[in-house]
Structure 1
Amino acid sequence: MAEQGKKKVVRVESTAPAGDGGGTAVAESTAPTWTPTPEAKKQAMTFRLIAGGLWLLAIAGEVFTIFWVLRQVPVNMVLLIILIVVIGALAIGGSLLWKRANRLDPASKEDKVRFFVQNQLGAIIAVIAFLPLIILIFTNKDLDGKQKALAGIIAIVIGGGALALGIDYAPPSVEQYTEESNVIVQLTGEDIVYWTKSGSVFHVCSEVPDVNKESKDGQIYEGTVAAAHAAGKDRLVSYWQREAVNYCGYTQEQVDAVEAGSAPADEESVEAPEETPAAE
């Protein structure tokens, strides 16, 4: 590990062999499509299986509530409310894990239907888990007005929360990750980015102020774009151009060349500023 001011730079190694779909795109005449590392893909599958299990339990809870609890005379209100809360917790838990999986192994925008379903499945499950239940609560003949209002409002609030948390407002895509990888490789000549444990984005170099802010572990992590996404970082920082010019030693001309879609012509000029190499 190399010291960067008061913080240490820690190298995060990619688990995929070079040139074998290692979760990144490299600078070639035709830029390849980004693919996740095997480790990230495996972790995404694990998250999806757990999320699917939680959603299955949520739907099972809904079915039990509809076909047993709401058919009791009188309806057990305590049990009904507990089940509504449990269904909501299961739906939300599944959605959060599903979103994490999508950031490790995103869908492509080329298949619009799959892209929508994969990224908004948490919201779809929330609707399935709560809409029939809410309708049947308000139409149940064995509940009086106050009971319907109480159970119905609780179901609407929790169901609405599950729906809101299930929606992915900025869904990741293969195209996004490919563009990020190509930007980094074209600008710096290598697939290396920097991030912190608590941050949600990654950066062009280790000199930027955002990664040098005080943190609990006192470390800056260094690795490929794929490793950054595998670590839970959503995207390349939106103002990477300003970071590259102001803190990383690149010129505006180099940044403009990358944005235009071509690597700078002078190979020596695109080398990153000299840094103390991180220990293996």
Structure 2
Amino acid sequence: MAEKKSPRSRAERGAEIAEHETVAGGAFQASPEAESAALRLRIVAALLWAVAIAGEVVAILWVLRQDPIKMWLLIVMIVVIGAFAVGGSLLWKKANRLDPASEKDKVRFFVQNQLGVIITVIAFLPLIVLIFLNKDLDGKQKGIAGGVAIVVAVLVGAASADWNPPSVEQYSVETNVVQQLTGENEVYYTKGGSVFHVCADVPDLRRSKQISAGTVEQAHADGKDRLTKKWVSEAINNCGIPAAKVDQVLGDVDDVTTTLDEDQFTTGADGKPAVNAEVERSAPAPASTPRATSSRTPSTGPAASSRPAA
């Protein structure tokens, strides 16, 4: 008698699916142009970080050894170190949008996305400790210099941290959703927005005078964090996509619920997501929508391996 298998959790199925997509070549892969641009940004970021750490060394070996110690010079050095550190971190985060890491390698994923915070600790912690241990500074001077260093370090660390880091898995799911839903890898967004949409005729875009269009990869490169988590209701009510088609996408695209708010779908007895009936309503009369400006370039098309999963 065959042994009855216990139902797998959604997390287990998602992990298996991610593994299958990677082996099968269905996972997102940055284009050669994006990889090249990311490499250039990372080189510049590394140089800026090197200058920041060099500034720390100068502050420790020269400024703190002066007699008397020039407070104004010490504070200037702290600010300069912070400026170079945050500059490098911002460029590094931009590079990660172009060429993200995979969540499958937890250590690499963390280090690649939070390297700016690690560099900030390296650039400030030794200096802060030596300021408070310095025998040539009185209590007031230590309080001022140490306080400034701590404040700058915290601000730089906060700006360097990636609170919503991109991943290969995220880009893969978003690309598969868009391609299966619309038949092409094209999304729409505005310069000031933080998300992108599956069509241009949605309320958030109607208020904008200029709409950009591009691939999922291009949208992320332009600073957009993710696909809107309300794409189900937008697809049905604003984009003219039948609910049956959206249901099919929800059933076919693996790990699709990571792209949605909970009110956008329901889960059936078979464990598969489906359109939440509450998001279906009569579509409003279409309003005049500004013409989308394409962000595509001949070298920025979707990677061959970004095709939708079977």
Please indicate, yes or no, whether the TM-score normalized by the shorter chain is above 0.5: yes
Provide the residue aligned with 2:207 in structure 1: 213
How far apart are 1:277 and its partner, in Å? Answer: 9.8
Provide the residue aligned with 1:250 in structure 2: 241
2:252 alignment partner, SS class: coil
How far apart are 1:212 and its partner, in Å? Answer: 2.0
Q: Does the Cα contact within 8 Å between 1:104 and 1:232 map onto a contact in 2?
A: no
User: Which of 223, 231, 248 is residue 232 of structure 1 equivalent to?
Assistant: 223
Identity in percent: 59
How far apart are 1:254 and its partner, in Å? Answer: 2.2
Q: Give the residue type in structure 2 aligned to 1:50.
A: V
1:197 alignment partner, SS class: coil
Q: Does the Cα contact within 8 Å between 2:187 and 2:196 map onto a contact in 1?
A: yes
Q: Does the Cα contact within 8 Å between 1:245 and 1:251 map onto a contact in 2?
A: yes
Please list, as runs of the form range in 1=range in 2, the aligned pairs for 1:106-117 lying within 5 A after superposition: 106-117=100-111
Matched, 1:124 2:118: yes
TM-score normalized by structure 2?
Answer: 0.72
Matched, 1:203 2:197: yes
Q: List 4+ stretches of structure 1 deviating above 3 A.
A: 275-280
Matched, 1:40 2:34: yes
**Deviation per CA, 1:118-146, whole angstroms, max 9, x where unpaired?**
00000000100111110000000000011
1:114 alignment partner, SS class: helix
Q: Does the Cα contact within 8 Å between 2:177 and 2:253 map onto a contact in 1?
A: no
Q: Give the residue type in structure 2 aligned to 1:238.
A: K
Provide the residue aligned with 2:144 in structure 1: 150
2:174 alignment partner, SS class: helix
Alpha-carbon spacing, 1:277–1:177, altered in 2? closer, same or farther (3 Å):
closer
Q: CA–CA distance in 2 between the matches of 1:103 and 1:84?
A: 29
Provide the residue aligned with 2:53 in structure 1: 59
Gaps of 5+ in 1: 1-26, 264-272
Q: C-alpha root-mean-square deviation of aligned residues, in Å?
A: 2.3
Q: Give the residue type in structure 2 aligned to 1:128.
A: I
Provide the residue aligned with 2:301 in structure 1: none
Q: CA–CA distance in 1 between the matches of 2:293 and 2:228?
A: 22
**Deviation per CA, 1:138-182, whole angstroms, max 9, x where unpaired?**
000000011000000000000011111111111100000000000
Q: Give the residue type in structure 2 aligned to 1:131.
A: L
Higher RCO, Cα 8 Å, sep 6+: 1
How far apart are 1:262 and its partner, in Å? Answer: 5.1
Q: CA–CA distance in 1 between the matches of 2:63 and 2:25?
A: 57
Alpha-carbon spacing, 1:177–1:248, altered in 2? closer, same or farther (3 Å):
same
Q: CA–CA distance in 2 between the matches of 1:277 and 1:247?
A: 16
Please list, as runs of the form range in 1=range in 2, the aligned pairs for 1:1-280 lying within 5 A after superposition: 32-214=26-208, 218-261=209-252
Mean Cα displacement is larger for which, 204-213 or 75-84? 204-213
Q: CA–CA distance in 1 between the matches of 2:79 and 2:221?
A: 32
Mean Cα displacement is larger for which, 225-234 or 128-137? 225-234
